[in-house]
Structure 1
Amino acid sequence: MTIRPLVILPDSRLRLVSEPVGPITDEIRQLAKDMLDTMYDAPGVGLAAIQIGVPKRLITMDVSKSEDERNPMVLINPEITWASEELRAYEEGCLSIPEYYEEVERPDRIRFRYTDLDGNVVERDAEGLMATCVQHEIDHLNGVLFIDHISKLKRDRVITKFRKAARREAQAG
Structure 2
Amino acid sequence: MEKLDIVLYPEQGLREVCTPVAEMNDDIDKLIDDMFYTMYDAPGIGLAAPQVAVQERLIVVDVSEKNNQPIALINPEIIQSSGHITWEEGCLSLPGIYAKVNRPSHILVRGMDRDGKPVEFEADELLAICIQHEIDHLNGKLFVDHLSGLKRTRALQKFRKLHQEQTQEH
Normalising by the residue count of structure 1, what TM-score does the alignment of the two structures yield? 0.92
Amino acid at match of 2:107: I
Who is 1:58 aligned against? 58
Shift of 1:161: 3.5
For 1:62 and 1:119, locate their aligned partners in 2 and report how far apart those are by CA, in whole Å. Answer: 19
Using the alignment, how far apart are the partners of 2:27 and 2:87 within structure 1?
Answer: 34
Is 2:124 the partner of 1:127? yes
Given the alignment, which residue of 76, 82, 99 partners 1:78?
Answer: 76
C-alpha distance in structure 2 between counterparts of 1:100 and 1:171, whole Å: 19
Number of aligned positions between the proteins: 170
Q: Deviations over 1:72-122 (max 9, x none)?
A: 1110000000000x2110111100010111111100100000101111100
Residue 90 of structure 1 is aligned with which of 84, 87, 92?
Answer: 87
Question: TM-score of the superposition, structure 2-length normalised?
Answer: 0.93
2:155 corresponds to 1:158: yes
Following TM superposition, by how much is the alpha carbon of 1:157 offset from its aligned partner in structure 2, in angstroms? 2.0
Distance 2:164 2:88 in 1: 28
Gaps of 5+ in 1: none
SS of the aligned residue for 1:138 comes to helix
Separation in structure 2 between the aligned mates of residue 60 and residue 97 of structure 1, nearest angstrom: 18
Provide the identity percentage.
50
Q: In terms of mean alpha carbon deviation, does 70-79 or 152-161 score higher?
A: 152-161
Superposed CA RMSD: 1.7
Maintained 8 Å contact 1:10/1:159: no
**In 2: Cα distance, 1:76 partner to 1:44 partner:** 19
